[in-house]
Amino acid sequence: MSKRKYGLALSLVLAAGTLLGACGTEKEKTTSKGGNESEFSLAMVTDVGGIDDKSFNQSAWKGIKDFGEANGLSEGDGGYAYLQSKGEADYTSNLNALTRRDFDLVFGVGFMMEEAINTIAGQQADTNFGIIDGVVDQPNVASILFKEQEGAFLAGVAAALMTKSDKIGFVGGMEIPVIERFEAGFIAGVAAVKPDIKVDVKYTGAFDKAELGKAEAGRMYSSGVDIIFHAAGGTGNGVFTEAKERKAADKDAYVWVIGVDSDQYDEGQVGDDNITLTSMLKRVDVAVQDIAKLAQEGKFPGGETKVYGLEDDGVTLADSRGAIPQDVMDKVEDFKKKIASGEIEVPEFVE
Domains (range + CATH), the chain: 37-146+285-310 (3.40.50.2300), 148-281+321-341 (3.40.50.2300)
Sequence-separated (6 or more) residues with CB below 8 Å from residue 38: none
More confident site: 317 or 8: 317
Residues 6+ apart with CB under 8 A from 340: 309, 310, 311
* Cα of 181 vs its chain's centroid, Å: 15
Alpha helices in the chain (DSSP H): 3-31, 56-70, 90-100, 114-123, 148-162, 177-193, 210-222, 236-249, 284-296, 326-341
CB 106 within 8 A of CB 98: yes
For the chain, the 3-state helix, strand and coil shares in percent, each to the nearest 5, are 50, 20, 35
pLDDT per position as a tens digit, 45-72? 999 878 887 778 999 999 999 999 999 9
Phi, psi of 43 (to 5 degrees): -155, 175
The answer to whether the CB of 189 falls within 8 A of the CB of 156 is yes
pLDDT band at 38 (very low <50, low <70, confident <90, very high): low
Q: Is pLDDT above 80 for 6?
A: no
| 3-class secondary structure, 135 | coil
Task: For residue 251, give the 3-state DSSP assignment.
Answer: coil
- The answer to whether 184 and 349 have CB atoms below 8 angstroms apart is yes
**Candidate from 119-123, 150-154, 232-236 with smallest mean pLDDT:** 232-236
Closest C-alpha to 49, from 98, 88, 19, 80: 88
With bands split at pLDDT 50, 70 and 90, how would you rate the model's confidence at 19?
very low
Helix, strand, or coil (residue 137): coil
* pLDDT class of 328 with cuts at 50, 70, 90: very high
In whole angstroms, give the CA distance from residue 300 to residue 295.
4
- pLDDT by residue (tens digit) across 137-180? 999 999 999 999 999 999 999 999 999 999 999 999 999 999 99
pLDDT at 9 over 70: no
Question: Which pLDDT does position 3 carry in this prediction?
Answer: 39
* CB-CB contact of 114 with 76 (8 Å): no
